[in-house]
Amino acid sequence: MMELVLADHYVDHIREEIDVSIRFAQQLEPGLVARRIACVPLRFCAAPSYLTQRGVPQQPEDLQAHQCLLFRSPMDGRLLGWGFLRHGVRFEPRLNPAMISNDIDSLARFAVDGAGIARLGAFIADPLIAQGLLVPLFEVEQGKRKKGKADGARADIEPLTFYACYQDRRAANGKLRLFLDYLLESMPPAWQLQVKDGTSPP
């Protein structure tokens, strides 16, 4: 039998008898083995009405002049910064928080209502983009980028990496290994492209 527990709070594997928990990179902690299982694309997006009124940011540094809808992790209360990669170097631009929430679905609704720019997982943002409710930002395909001065300011959006976490003593558990293999096989192909085998974070 398998028991599935859905929770946003901190999970103690030993006290709560949890075999495996799914966490993103910012939630990793010492004492747990972390196996990378997916890299989920993130979308920066805003409603057409917001962009008409406030303009379209062309590079991450422009976000400082915009209304940003930020996510606070329910697990540890941490305000998650917005990561970008430029020339292989990670950075977080300065932001102007207009709203903070520990519920990502609420931030998506506020973005649709024109409250500002949100960073959403592709699985949340893409249906809203397809309906014309949100417009993606900073998404210039690598092959279509124009070379020149402006291209030096371009940055890639850092994906959201998910890990399956478990205690060392459970590493040889056959059922756990089968479950981890199932998770990897069940991920959408687009999420698997950047996944590398191994138990250590990048």
Domains of the chain and CATH, by start: 1-40+159-202 (3.40.190.10), 42-157 (3.40.190.10)
Place of tokens 């901190």: 10
Whether 92 has a pLDDT exceeding 50, the answer reads: yes
Task: Check if the beta carbon of residue 196 is closer than 8 Å to that of residue 163.
Answer: no
Q: pTM (2 decimals)?
A: 0.77
Distance CA 35, CA 187 (A): 14
Is there a contact between 71 and 77 (Cβ–Cβ < 8 Å)?
Answer: no
Beta-carbon count within 10 A of 24 CB:
16
CA distance 183 to 33: 16
The tokens of 73 are what?
């992790």
**pLDDT for residue 113 is more than 90:** yes
192: helix, coil or strand? helix
The predicted pLDDT at position 140 comes to 60
The rounded radius of gyration (Å) of the Cα atoms in the chain is 19
Q: Say whether pLDDT at 53 is over 80.
A: yes
Give 192 or 102, the one with higher predicted confidence: 102
